[in-house]
Structure 1
Amino acid sequence: MSVQKLFDLLWHDFNGRLCPSSVTIHELLKQNKVLINDHIALRTFACSPIDLKVLAKPLLELGYQAGGEYVFTAKKLLAKHYQHPDPLMPKVFISELQLDQCSSELRTIVAKLVSQIDDGQLEGSDFLHGGRLWNLSFADYQQLAKESEYASWVAAHGFGANHFTVSVNQLAQFQDVAEVNAFLKQKGFVINASGGEVKGTPQVRLEQSSTMADKVNVAFSDGEHMIPGGFYEFAKRYEVSQGKLYQGFVEASADKIFESTNK
């Protein structure tokens, strides 16, 4: 599978299952040119057989290379980003919940979920956009959410892009992230205001914002419920040297972006 084919499949899954509003936002922003996707984000649990390294393996096989590492102490997350030699290919930000820092109740539920996975389901790269590989009750989802919104999101949605990210640098009609936010608010979209609507500054070489996650209908083993799905992000990168843009992520900003899927 080519890199472009993988991202086409991730985008299709994202539009159809996790963030239907992304189609409208994409059309509003693209005008007459193709949007450049800065990065996507994937979420998982730090346990076998679905830890961060397992999600990264198909990307490495497609030519991606490891970038920075990040720690989110309060949310009990570790993350890494990966980038491709072709600068037009999106970066991939993968995070994992550190289960050894979580309660025994949470670990028990997660163990019950991953025990349902057949190793064959993790071959190749299709699982990256394959959704949930386990059955989950709404009661277990609610129990997870009491301790970790992140855990409940992964349990409910499984694998797929938590968000796609428009590169603001290439937008013709907007110069900065704040202008994108103002435009989308006029169109009725809600912007994540945690830590301010614009996270980051030119001084840290990255500014970001995001919509709040769509509410999507998810089938649980004991009924269907509307819960937060995916969201759309917007990022502007600044030069670190002549003609070269910053390629990493800023922990303080990313920490607040995670909250786009809060209820």
Structure 2
Amino acid sequence: MERVEKLFDALWQDYTNRLCPSAAQVHDLLTEEEPLLNDHIALRTFNLPGVSLDVLAAPFIAIGYKPCGTYHFEQKKLYAEHFEHPNPAAPKVFISELLVGQCSAALQNTVRELVKQIPEGAMKDGAFLYGGRLWDLDYATYEQLAEESEYAGWVAAHGYGANHFTVSVNQLEQFTEVTEVNSLLRHNGFTINEAGGEVKGSPEVLLEQSSTMADRVDVRFTDGIRSIPGGFYEFAKRYLQENGELYPGFVAASADKIFESTNM
């Protein structure tokens, strides 16, 4: 687990410093006697050679993770997989990729030009997972991408890093329901993602999720610094399956709405 903890510590530092500074406050609000259990993180990329989902998964597979589920988001033109470690205490990993070939010719050309800028060998070391953007980008190009695909704009602007961490509600003592966590966060000034309802999922599908709306963070573009949506914090409650174990997977209909936490 030492290699797992080292990687997730680095991802957490990048996430709280660059993508979602408010996560540290949320973390403090919910921390009890035991350290918070991170249910999963999520990463985003493009399905292009050298930067595809498989490339992002490789560092996790190298430390024992295995693919455990596939998900399709046709409207958003996304494909995703989730990965689990043999140690159930290790966070799950949810990796998605934009199916660039299904997008407009303009978006395809722009994204391919961005990816061409990546220095040779930059994606070989797992450190790229929390290394941010590996290409230059101006604000107008970001806006053009985001107009067609919010997801494409996000990846283009931020590069690589966890767009969210997830508190396991199952582990909390003072709260048993996702709605209770949401109420605490609202009381402390956080905005909850209401897309598809404040709680996505249900006991019937064995998973309930909610999330804050993304922090606005300053990003350096080639033509100046702009404030745009960054990362967010998620909260998940898992239910027991018939075999007596907590459901380990994800629900595509719910994940579809969680993606909208980064909408402008």
TM-score (norm 2): 0.98
**Residue 129 of structure 2: aligned partner:** 128
- Structure 2's unaligned 5+ residue stretches are none
**Aligned counterparts of 2:120 and 2:186: Cα–Cα separation in 1:** 44
The Cα shift of 1:252 comes to: 0.4
**Residue 165 of structure 1: aligned partner:** 166
Aligned residues: CA RMSD: 0.8
SS at match of 2:176: coil
- Structure 1's unaligned 5+ residue stretches are none
**Aligned counterparts of 2:243 and 2:43: Cα–Cα separation in 1:** 31
SS at match of 2:241: strand
The Cα shift of 1:242 comes to: 4.4
Query: Is the aligned partner of 1:24 residue 2:25?
Result: yes
**Residue 231 of structure 1: aligned partner:** 232
Range 29-38 or range 237-246, more displaced:
237-246
**Residue 78 of structure 1: aligned partner:** 79
**Aligned counterparts of 1:243 and 1:9: Cα–Cα separation in 2:** 33
**Residue 13 of structure 2: aligned partner:** 12
**Residue 38 of structure 2: aligned partner:** 37
The amino acid of 2:180's aligned partner reads E
SS at match of 2:122: helix
**Aligned counterparts of 1:40 and 1:57: Cα–Cα separation in 2:** 15
**Aligned counterparts of 1:6 and 1:241: Cα–Cα separation in 2:** 33
SS at match of 1:244: coil
Structure 1 moving runs of 4+ over 4 Å: none
Query: Is the aligned partner of 1:115 residue 2:110?
Result: no
**Aligned counterparts of 1:119 and 1:180: Cα–Cα separation in 2:** 44
The Cα shift of 1:119 comes to: 2.8
* CA deviation map 1:92-125 (0-9, x unaligned): 0000000110001101110110001123111121
**Residue 174 of structure 1: aligned partner:** 175
**Aligned counterparts of 2:94 and 2:101: Cα–Cα separation in 1:** 22
SS at match of 2:40: strand
* CA deviation map 1:47-67 (0-9, x unaligned): 011000000011101000001
**Residue 62 of structure 2: aligned partner:** 61
SS at match of 1:245: coil
The Cα shift of 1:243 comes to: 3.2
The amino acid of 1:8's aligned partner reads D
Residue correspondences, number: 263
Range 132-141 or range 235-244, more displaced:
235-244
**Residue 259 of structure 2: aligned partner:** 258
* CA deviation map 1:161-204 (0-9, x unaligned): 01000000000100110110011101110000000000000000
Identity %: 61
TM-score (norm 1): 0.99
The amino acid of 1:101's aligned partner reads Q
SS at match of 2:64: coil
